[in-house]
Amino acid sequence: MAEIQLEKTALGLELGSTRIKAVLIGPEHAVLASGAHDWENRLEHGYWTYALDDVWAGVQDAFARLARQVQERYGTPLHTVGAMGVSGMMHGYLPFARDGAQLAAFRTWRNTTTERAAALLTERFAFNVPQRWSVAHLYQAILDGEPHVRDIAYLTTLAGYVHWRLTGERVLGVGEASGMFPIDSAACGYDAGMEKTFDALLAQEGMPYRLADILPRVLCAGADAGTLTAEGACLLDPTGVLRPGVPLCPPEGDAGTGMAATNSVGVRTGNVSAGTSVFAMAVLERPLARVYPEIDMVTTPTGRPVAMVH
């Protein structure tokens, strides 16, 4: 039976559009074990969505399948790993109240209900804001007078939500954050000027918060994004075998994981993804000089500007 040093492994959780995957790799990046769970979004009340109970059922199933492989191949229970990370489908809308209650069903990147908000924000920012971006979903909900918007205390993505529940930390990797709100690559954070513009729109609509009050904190690759808590370990592994204390990297989006997997994170590199959606990305030397409606601006996990055609 092969040997394994669990403290030298890394566990990745990926929540894609049709499958949730758990993959364990070793120090040389070889795959040691994996598990997967198939799922599908549903059209409910006019929105493509996934129930959060289904998120955890899928994550737990994928992890359990991986843990069984580890036991069968290496003869040891999966009680720890050296590091962890979460990634998932980007964009969308997951709003929560101050007490952590979910305020509206998860609105995924597939929804095209934010045309008015996206157009208004693109004009105000002089920056292309696609319909699937989180800020477009938020502003559209405000424009539509949805009652829950006044109670938002935290707005995040799917990867950000899972990371928050595992660690208690309300953070996002910069690449994932770039699908919520425009990023200042030099600062590795939200664009301050556009943030000020949006805060004025929030005040104009009578919202009791500023954008900085409700969005996750932005982190660049390599930053400390917290550790697995006892509650998070039980969420991931209800059997109680997995122990808390594992360090986690900043949660990222599927675009960022694709860039990392294809080594397309340096300037003048690029890649193409042909998954549930098809998109091409090129890492730029500098931000675009003007708005191109067919080009979405996101970033690498280190904050470099990336042009995406989706």
The 10s digit of each residue's pLDDT in 51-104 is: 999 999 999 999 999 999 999 999 999 999 999 999 999 999 999 999 999 999
Does residue 276 carry a pLDDT above 80? no
Structure-token pair, residue 259: 């860039």
Cβ neighbours of residue 125 closer than 8 Å, sequence gap 6 or more:
182, 194, 197
For the record, the structure tokens of 19 come out as 């499958």
C-alpha to C-alpha distance for 178 and 306, rounded to whole angstroms: 10
Annotated domain spans of the chain: 6-309
* Domain 6-309 class in CATH: alpha beta
3 state SS of 189: strand
Is the model's pLDDT at 278 over the cut of 90?
A: no
pLDDT class for 277, splitting at 50, 70, 90?
A: confident
Whole-prediction pTM: 0.96
